[in-house]
């Protein structure tokens, strides 16, 4: 310890202390002073969703489980992430909806790590006779075994997770009736959003949540589609402003209306796109032009977006042509400040707490 202190002192004296500290923080972002932070791991499931939240007390919430099959690739990646975060079980697994890139990984996940409670929006509404139905049935079979509890979520519910507040915004096509604190004002961005036909798939049923940790606010609406965004956000914005947006629907153009993206005014957006899934050019442009946006982070380079529409290379976890499964990790503080760590580059970008 004394040697380390002496070295730090010498390094600071030499004017390179900051560099040294930056490297140390990148190597082990969940240790030391980060103990009081909310950790959010954006697992790369190649164009599906899987986002792991771990509170300072070690309580955990996983939003979606990635794809089935692929020899358990996605479940393996989630479990590796959970172990790195010090977890032996996942307390809550929230299923946004029953498409295969969200619920598909459930059977393989429960075969690898215990799950305390599943949370969902109720029955599958998309009888496609294919992967959506079979994915839902496989999930029901896991629930029927009785190893985990299950919560049916309704808009306005606050989920029983300690250490952060998880409020249900949307579920089964319905929305919160009362605005959140800071919400309720007229939405000036509705006029810039075209009207689109109703989406009849499970996407529109997505179980969406707001997560707050002290002053830090994050929004994840699953794959909620454009028409539902307009219903939720117009004419008044019930959500107010958010610090972090998990971009809906992997950045596909069927979601991310200006009425949603611009109105919530995110500082950072994180897109769980694959190389050829999501990451649509119009959506990349909408997010880049969003007022107040400091950085778009992407799990993958988007082939469709090309060099002119993808975010800068250092904010992409997995560059073109790679499938190495690099993750992004966000560490949030209660004062509203946060860091984002890119596991590929080992670099961390800091976002200071806003003056408010």
Q: Site residues (CB under 5 A) for Zn ion? A: 101, 223
Nearest approach, Cβ of 278 to Zn ion (angstroms)? 8
* Cα–Cα distance, 250 to 27 (Å, whole number): 28
In the bound state with Zn ion, the residue whose beta carbon lies nearer, of 29 and 47, is 47
Nearest approach, Cβ of 203 to Zn ion (angstroms)? 7
In the bound state with Zn ion, the residue whose beta carbon lies nearer, of 25 and 49, is 49
Alpha-carbon distance values, 253 to 162, 203, 291, 306 (Å) = 35, 13, 19, 15
Name the phi and psi angles at 324, rounded to 5: -85, -5
Residues 6 or more apart from 327 whose CB is under 8 A from it?
A: 41, 42, 43, 44, 77, 81, 299, 317, 343
Nearest approach, Cβ of 169 to Zn ion (angstroms)? 17
Residues 260-295 as b/e (b if ≥16 CB within 10 A, e otherwise) read bbbbbbbbbbbbbbbbebbbbbebbebbeebeebeb
Query: In 3D, which of 148, 169, 36 has the Cα closest to residue 96?
Result: 169
Nearest approach, Cβ of 223 to Zn ion (angstroms)? 4
Residues 6 or more apart from 285 whose CB is under 8 A from it?
A: 309
* Cα–Cα distance, 350 to 177 (Å, whole number): 35
In the bound state with Zn ion, the residue whose beta carbon lies nearer, of 274 and 332, is 274
* Cα–Cα distance, 191 to 33 (Å, whole number): 45
In the bound state with Zn ion, the residue whose beta carbon lies nearer, of 63 and 328, is 63
In the bound state with Zn ion, the residue whose beta carbon lies nearer, of 155 and 222, is 222
Nearest approach, Cβ of 64 to Zn ion (angstroms)? 8
- Strand segments (E) across 64-164: 90-94, 115-120, 149-152
Q: How far apart are the first and last CA of the chain?
A: 38
Nearest approach, Cβ of 277 to Zn ion (angstroms)? 8
Nearest approach, Cβ of 264 to Zn ion (angstroms)? 20
Q: Which two tokens stand for residue 137?
A: 């049935």
In the bound state with Zn ion, the residue whose beta carbon lies nearer, of 187 and 298, is 298
Question: What is the bridge-based pairing of β-strands 338-342 and 38-42?
Answer: unpaired
Nearest approach, Cβ of 222 to Zn ion (angstroms)? 7
Classify 50 in phi/psi space as left (phi over 0), alpha (psi -120 to 50) or beta. beta
In the bound state with Zn ion, the residue whose beta carbon lies nearer, of 46 and 101, is 101
In the bound state with Zn ion, the residue whose beta carbon lies nearer, of 67 and 315, is 67
Listing DSSP states for 192-241 in one string gives GS---PPP-SGGGG--EEEEEETTEEEEE-TT--HHHHHHHHSSEESS--
* Cα–Cα distance, 219 to 166 (Å, whole number): 10
In the bound state with Zn ion, the residue whose beta carbon lies nearer, of 104 and 258, is 104
Nearest approach, Cβ of 90 to Zn ion (angstroms)? 20
Please tell me whether residue 248 adopts helix, strand or coil conformation.
helix
Nearest approach, Cβ of 49 to Zn ion (angstroms)? 6
* Cα–Cα distance, 264 to 312 (Å, whole number): 23
In the bound state with Zn ion, the residue whose beta carbon lies nearer, of 101 and 329, is 101
């Amino acid at each position: 310890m004394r040697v380390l202190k002496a070295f730090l002192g010498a390094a600071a004296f030499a004017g390179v202390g900051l560099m040294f500290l930056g490297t140390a923080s990148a190597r082990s972002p969940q240790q030391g002073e980060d103990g009081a932070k909310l950790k959010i791991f954006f697992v790369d499931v190649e164009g599906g969703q899987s986002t792991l939240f771990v509170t300072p007390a070690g309580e955990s919430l996983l939003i979606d489980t990635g794809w089935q099959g692929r020899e358990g690739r996605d479940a393996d990646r989630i479990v590796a992430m959970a172990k790195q975060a010090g977890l032996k079980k996942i307390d809550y697994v929230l299923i946004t909806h029953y498409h295969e890139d969200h619920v598909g990984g459930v059977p393989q996940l429960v075969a690898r790590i215990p799950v305390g409670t599943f949370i969902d929006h109720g029955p599958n509404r998309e009888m496609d006779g294919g992967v959506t139905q079979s994915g839902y049935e496989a999930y029901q079979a896991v629930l029927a075994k009785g190893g985990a509890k299950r919560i049916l979520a309704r808009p306005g519910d606050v989920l029983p997770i300690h250490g952060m507040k998880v409020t249900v915004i949307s579920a089964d096509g319905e929305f919160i009736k009362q605005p959140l604190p800071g919400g309720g004002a007229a939405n000036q961005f509705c006029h810039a959003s075209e009207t689109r036909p109703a989406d009849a798939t499970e996407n529109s049923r997505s179980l969406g949540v707001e997560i707050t940790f002290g002053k830090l606010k994050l929004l994840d609406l699953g794959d909620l589609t454009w028409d539902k965004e307009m219903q939720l956000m117009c004419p008044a914005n019930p959500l107010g402003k958010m610090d972090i947006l998990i971009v809906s629907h992997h950045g596909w153009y069927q979601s991310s209306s200006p009425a949603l993206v611009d109105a919530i005014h995110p500082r950072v957006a994180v897109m769980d796109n694959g190389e050829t899934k999501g990451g649509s050019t119009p959506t990349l442009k909408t997010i880049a032009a969003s007022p107040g946006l400091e950085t778009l982070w992407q799990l993958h380079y988007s082939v469709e977006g090309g060099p002119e529409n993808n975010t800068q290379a250092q904010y992409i976890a997995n560059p073109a042509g790679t499938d190495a499964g690099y993750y992004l990790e966000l560490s949030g503080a209660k004062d509203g400040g946060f860091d984002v760590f890119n596991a590929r580059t080992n670099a961390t970008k800091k976002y200071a707490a806003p003056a408010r």
